[in-house]
Structure 1
């Protein structure tokens, strides 16, 4: 997806001819409290998020913490996930977001909230008396109780791990990872003295749990999503120097996933994507605190593999939260792409790798995901967040509600949009100032006693102006990243054109600076196409670093047309600028079924969009139309033979067929509605029948895996269906004969779908038909 530094240099003649400077070996980000953002899209995001953070009530997020500590709550619990067994995870995110917001803006109210929350956590911990503090709960049947009840069970060897549920609690160690991170950030950015003791005491409680487990039991616990709890203990060791925490961090290693990655084997297909990224970040932190090179292998390999084989044009990854088969992006452009937490964590991982070896290509990826996914995942008009950022034609983003959702991507969104200044400015180990993101800002570089101002309309303008307001020590190199998409970059200092010294994708300037010195970097932007990693005929459009999308209408109106296509021998020749500086273009005669207006994808928050397009020449388009006509003829024949059609997952059709269900959910995937049944659940409905031989036809998605379920007609099992990924990349139908004895003399029958045993799931089933042969 992103070219290497060598490719960047060779494609830009002005840079290829320049002399090279020695490569840097290490770098570190300049602290966020030394950066102030200037008016821009990023500052708008910060301010929208700050308003939301200050609307939230800490006492409501602390509700469960106090109740489970035996203290009277001071506020009602929030809804959504905060009313489920994952309750409390938001508080950790919120602590981090408040701490970062204070550092980024100087907001005193945010720091006051941080101090209040830490005091409350300390009080809850003291009430427990053993270091425990948490807000999560657990379920035993219909009983909801404190999550603390599960840990004596773990210690006793009773470990029931089901991926996201551990002994009836939704991801407790993931939850604690967020809380640890919030406490660490409270210490780092707000100077809170009580945060680290709370973390140490909680660490002691968790250490005692793991001390009672053998290696097999540890791995069974880790089979449940646990976030980056290994990172938490690596960081606790870094802050305290206590080897106890380092030993625990290294013990919390999910071998099933991390061992293959550590020998450069791709273990990612068909596993939950965001469950893995924090574990990798934990290894990266372990590498930093121990210096052990083996801890660095998996993070590097994982980053390369995900960005090359699993990432979409906006920098996000995963479909329905899972990695698919590698290099199959064109087959997974759906309304369930790009969970926002994934990119939040991939950007964290990128920062670790960059600190080890500063390479511009790492920030080519970072910039791509930061602009096109992270900005897309917040609505600055409301401060709300999108869980998924869908790329399927006709899809629209679904926004959170302020007090009723609290998804994981709400929590990571609070953090993301509190820290847009954290990765603009870096310092190299040779004293160089590296500029990686072109976000308008002012840097107070205290280590050099220098002050610099970055002004630009980027990514909507190609001119970047960097002014040295205070030169401080005077002489230091400045290295400006040349993006991988750049062709023909130019540099001027104080109005005079200058040659570029380049290494690893940076224009490097080494001189003695004076107050008022002004660098102007020009990065010409052009419209270009980018194919998916598996199909050169499936393309996206970009202008400079910005992904463009076609406008398919307002989000509050349904889109039921065909996915648009582009038909031309030269696609780019069929685009005309409307306002190129704003990333706005329009097709001229090449779009089917009609011409389209294009704009930056991240800005189209209240629109239905198309991001990827099938590109055809005239002959290919003729073949496509013939295939479409043949499919319509097949569907007409099927409709003629259908006795009844049950559109699962749709309210009125399910009511019409008297559907009842337990532990079953309506789903939507690739614009098709369906329904599943989970462990111990089922769904059933009445279907019309008629005399004579009949078949029950059900539709499934071909890449469903590990599903085994029974189909019953009036209580008699007529089939057991296993879904094991046998039909990749498409929906498929399965027809089951209905014995005539089950329909004789009847006008309707009761159809039931249920898991075949207590460990599996059913479906999803994307519609059922009763058909005649």
Structure 2
């Protein structure tokens, strides 16, 4: 995690301007603005006024105060031979990734302290740091961690056990697993971020000795390895550990940490970005974004052009070619082929952590080349994804934000569902004010129109921002106090979607300079002056790049959605479509102050209520719609409705699905394998097992007849057995191409005797001698269709 205020973001003058187009704007990044130092106002100098953003902040503040530091510290103390003071939290805190939440918590309470001034939060941050120093003393070598290790015999032990093995060259690195420990360096990256935030935002300098001592231990581990072995370790998700050591160098000026940071460069992923090649398809999104954040930090420190090139290219490709309409990315946490959004609108889109990190990268790029187009993306992601991720009624967080029609957002629990996105959620909703205001030596820029007050210390000014944004486009910026009349510039962002922008100073229309997406007023200001901007918020349709017949609806910065049903009600209806020769003419306002509309004559199979997507926390939505003109609808209607009904029926009867070849899915389903490898073909992840090997995994079952469906590539040949809890279900033998050039599904009835009385079974795929399973992509278990109905 990277906080972007105060000492933590030492802003450097940009040496190279990012060239390209804004994600949702046609204007160029080239402009007259000279690259210069630009910083966001410190978080402690901005306070939110009533709005949905302040509600999210307040709810999160209340939640953070209820959390107990000693529960996060449970494994840290236990591993050092000290008695834990409280039981550990649940979820991932009861797995081998245990301990990662402490770093998120330390960042969140530090951010919230800066945002609110609540002294309880600073006291807790100080307590955590004191405990970490005590634990390091008990360890005796700088080591401090909460993660665990699962041995081959299944025994769970302290994670420190893996490092002598690694130093000896015994490195067993997979996507999420390193010698039986779940992402230990990712875990440490979170801890480092928390320590740095505690120093920057709470003034707790004791955090740095803890960071330095831990760095000494980590440096010793890598010093024992060859460069090739370092790369092998880095094949396991390691977060932004390169970012951690670049920042430690910034804080200590010790070149040891810069050297280590640059050594932790993952060639397999980052070299292609330096070469400006998009090879993102089928790699895990949030595994790789933090590595790029590390390059951005290294560019700040070293000025090396390759680091800038890679970071800028990555951002451009992700935001413009791999992102959904709400600004999130990833299907089941993975990037997919560029410009194929319409093929990936599923129940598992948009992991929050990935957007949280992309927004941090956006801030870095903006610092180097301040252009309003960066905030077209930032605002979209912030409003439509981050604000959708927290349920303000409960304060809890979603992992994915599903864009599949009718899907429900699943939210975490306060104690027992600790995941990565629960951690980043605590942080995201502690810093809604961090990116509103930005300053240079002579200009204050407003990038986000979130109601707030601010102190501009450099000018001795206090400001107030009043707006009903994003529900209406009336924006007023007032200078409530000013030390003395002075000449400076105020710049208001004109979003790329805005067709016009009317500006007034003290109630009178003015002509303002236009520069890189801003209207800038340069004059002598005095206390009481105000600047007003009005942005018309028109509805517009945004088609997907790969299929103009799949569209989303937006109003100003806000993604709109069809309100379908309560999450308490099953959704079994046909997916809605839009039909008309002029679709925009078919939306009528219902309650414009709440951005509510209805379709008139264009909704299929019926008219639709249209509302802001982000606020559908406890409602089912449709975000993407199939769109047809009248002639095309007549041709497509029958096939469209039939296929939608088939897919909906299958989804309704689904019991469990296993996406083979995907790290998170394989971990969730307890994959075990031998002589077996994950792979990718035609944009889909899968796994095969060769002669002498196997792959097995657990899946949920329910009473009654079930069907197993497996997905294959039509040209592959295979010969293997499928077993359920050790009993043969069927033999799969494809000795000739089954469906050349396409994926296909096969279904196998599951006898009730194999699942009776069980809630979970183990599926095992075992190739015949000299044969393989070939690539198997997905395994789906669903209830058998009633007699006479085809799945």
Task: Find 1:718's aligned residue among 731, 747, 756.
Answer: 731
Partner SS for 1:74: coil
Task: Find 2:778's aligned residue among 739, 760, 764.
Answer: 764
The answer as to whether partners of 2:656 and 2:700 remain within 8 angstroms in 1 is no
Counterpart Cα distance in 2 of 1:633 and 1:378? 32
Distance 1:215 1:512, change over 3 A: same
Distance 1:524 1:50, change over 3 A: same
Partner SS for 1:447: helix
Counterpart Cα distance in 2 of 1:516 and 1:313? 39
The answer as to whether partners of 2:720 and 2:731 remain within 8 angstroms in 1 is no
Task: Find 1:250's aligned residue among 239, 243, 262.
Answer: 262
Q: TM-score, normalised by structure 1?
A: 0.86
Partner SS for 1:515: coil
Q: How far has the Cα of 1:676 moved from its partner?
A: 13
Distance 1:78 1:731, change over 3 A: farther
The answer as to whether partners of 2:56 and 2:390 remain within 8 angstroms in 1 is yes
Cα deviation digits, residues 190-209 of structure 1 (max 9, x gap): 01121000000000000000
Distance 1:35 1:735, change over 3 A: closer
The answer as to whether partners of 2:24 and 2:376 remain within 8 angstroms in 1 is no
Partner SS for 2:498: coil
Task: Find 1:57's aligned residue among 54, 68, 77.
Answer: 68
What pairs up with 1:197-596 in 2 under 5 angstroms?
197-428=209-440, 430-472=441-483, 474-596=486-608
Partner SS for 2:448: coil
**Counterpart in the other structure of 2:77:** 66
Task: Find 2:182's aligned residue among 153, 170, 178.
Answer: 170
Alignment partner of 1:663 is 2:676:
no
Distance 1:6 1:364, change over 3 A: closer
**Counterpart in the other structure of 1:7:** 26
Q: How far has the Cα of 1:718 moved from its partner?
A: 2.4
Partner SS for 1:277: helix
The answer as to whether partners of 2:408 and 2:620 remain within 8 angstroms in 1 is yes
Cα deviation digits, residues 538-593 of structure 1 (max 9, x gap): 11111110001101100111101111000111111111001223211000121111
Cα deviation digits, residues 328-378 of structure 1 (max 9, x gap): 100111110000111100000000000001011100000000000000000
Distance 1:701 1:345, change over 3 A: farther
Partner SS for 2:320: helix
Partner SS for 2:360: helix
Cα deviation digits, residues 86-119 of structure 1 (max 9, x gap): 1110000000000000001111111011001111
Counterpart Cα distance in 2 of 1:576 and 1:400? 36
Q: TM-score, normalised by structure 2?
A: 0.85
Task: Find 1:133's aligned residue among 140, 144, 147.
Answer: 144
Distance 1:446 1:708, change over 3 A: farther
Counterpart Cα distance in 2 of 1:181 and 1:452? 31
Counterpart Cα distance in 2 of 1:584 and 1:261? 42
Alignment partner of 1:122 is 2:133:
yes
Distance 1:586 1:190, change over 3 A: same
Counterpart Cα distance in 2 of 1:239 and 1:435? 29
Distance 1:2 1:375, change over 3 A: farther
Counterpart Cα distance in 1 of 2:700 and 2:586? 52
Counterpart Cα distance in 2 of 1:685 and 1:360? 51
The answer as to whether partners of 2:719 and 2:732 remain within 8 angstroms in 1 is no
Counterpart Cα distance in 1 of 2:324 and 2:778? 25
Distance 1:37 1:628, change over 3 A: closer
**Counterpart in the other structure of 1:657:** none
Counterpart Cα distance in 2 of 1:483 and 1:261? 29
The answer as to whether partners of 1:755 and 1:761 remain within 8 angstroms in 2 is no
Q: How far has the Cα of 1:38 moved from its partner?
A: 1.1
Q: How far has the Cα of 1:41 moved from its partner?
A: 1.0
**Counterpart in the other structure of 2:86:** 75
Q: How far has the Cα of 1:26 moved from its partner?
A: 3.9
Counterpart Cα distance in 2 of 1:187 and 1:687? 55
Count of matched residue pairs: 720
Cα deviation digits, residues 405-463 of structure 1 (max 9, x gap): 111000000000001111111113x5211111111111111122221111111111211
Task: Find 1:754's aligned residue among 754, 764, 775.
Answer: 764
Counterpart Cα distance in 1 of 2:641 and 2:489? 63
Cα deviation digits, residues 487-530 of structure 1 (max 9, x gap): 11010001110012101100011111100001001111111111
Counterpart Cα distance in 1 of 2:301 and 2:525? 36
Counterpart Cα distance in 2 of 1:616 and 1:87? 50
Question: Unaligned 5+ residue runs, structure 1?
Answer: 11-19, 640-644, 651-660, 666-674, 690-695
Q: How far has the Cα of 1:7 moved from its partner?
A: 3.3
Q: How far has the Cα of 1:649 moved from its partner?
A: 2.6
Distance 1:100 1:464, change over 3 A: same
Counterpart Cα distance in 1 of 2:702 and 2:109? 53
Distance 1:531 1:683, change over 3 A: closer
Task: Find 2:119's aligned residue among 100, 108, 112.
Answer: 108
Distance 1:81 1:676, change over 3 A: farther
Question: Unaligned 5+ residue runs, structure 2?
Answer: 1-19, 658-667, 673-686, 756-760
